[in-house]
């Protein structure tokens, strides 16, 4: 099942979505998305280095065309070497909610070969693959893609797994885990009575999980 990125209403929302997505896969956000003129960048993200060495800084561009369905083309984006130097970054990263044209990819590759820098492109399929395979990403799906999340939860099933949450509580928690045997994402619905013990168990054992609070309607 694919993610319907057209649920994200605007480019600004997609930039904030992209920021959390990158944090979830291990990047440190040095510069967050901002409203208005951004100086040729949407996000600056750092990929941690080994043994305390300074990380690799990515100049991140986000383009959101899911509502029109068109691909990102050479008129929409570029690898601007001057902006790379201006923001003291080492390479380019592009996050697109749709696909991109071959002309754009070739243009980015030529610029990066000239500047001797790296680039990486996430298209919509790449982002969806990363998100659907990680329980840590499911709260992000719930936040920005609520209709897709509803379909996903209906497909993988959910139910109260620890104790009945009382009617007077403010809501409940969706707790996402990955089954090591089937490699599938599973979700439990937990009450406030036991969410802390579940989270502590997974933290102590360094097991991946995601957790999202659902307020009572």
Query: How high is the pLDDT of residue 92?
Result: 97
DSSP 73: -
Domains in the chain, please, with CATH?
A: 5-130 (3.40.1350.10), 134-215 (no CATH)
d(CA 42, CA 181): 39
Nearest CA to 42 out of 5, 3, 2, 97 is that of 97
> How much is the pLDDT for 72?
97
The reported pLDDT for the residue numbered 189 is 84
Q: What is the token pair recorded at 25?
A: 């896969």
What residues in the chain have per-residue pLDDT under 50?
1, 51
């Amino acid at each position: 099942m694919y993610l319907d990125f057209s649920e994200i209403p605007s480019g600004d929302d997609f930039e904030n979505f992209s920021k959390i997505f990158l944090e979830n896969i291990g990047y440190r956000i040095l510069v967050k998305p901002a409203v208005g003129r951004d100086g040729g960048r949407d996000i600056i993200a750092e990929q941690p280095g080994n043994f305390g060495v300074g990380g690799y800084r990515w100049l991140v561009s986000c383009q959101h065309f899911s509502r029109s369905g068109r691909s990102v083309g050479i008129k929409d984006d570029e690898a601007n070497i001057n902006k790379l130097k201006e923001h003291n970054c080492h390479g380019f990263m592009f996050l697109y909610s749709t696909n991109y044209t071959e002309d754009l990819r070739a243009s980015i590759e030529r610029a990066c070969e000239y500047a001797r820098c790296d680039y990486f492109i996430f298209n919509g399929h790449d982002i969806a693959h990363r998100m659907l395979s990680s329980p840590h990403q499911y709260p992000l799906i719930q936040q920005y893609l609520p209709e897709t999340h509803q379909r996903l939860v209906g497909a993988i099933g959910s139910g109260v797994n620890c104790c009945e949450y009382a009617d007077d509580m403010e809501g409940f928690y969706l707790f996402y885990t990955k089954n090591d045997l089937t490699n599938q994402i599973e979700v439990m619905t937990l009450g406030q009575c036991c969410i802390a013990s579940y989270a502590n168990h997974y933290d102590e054992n360094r097991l991946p999980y995601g957790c999202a609070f659902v307020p009572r309607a």
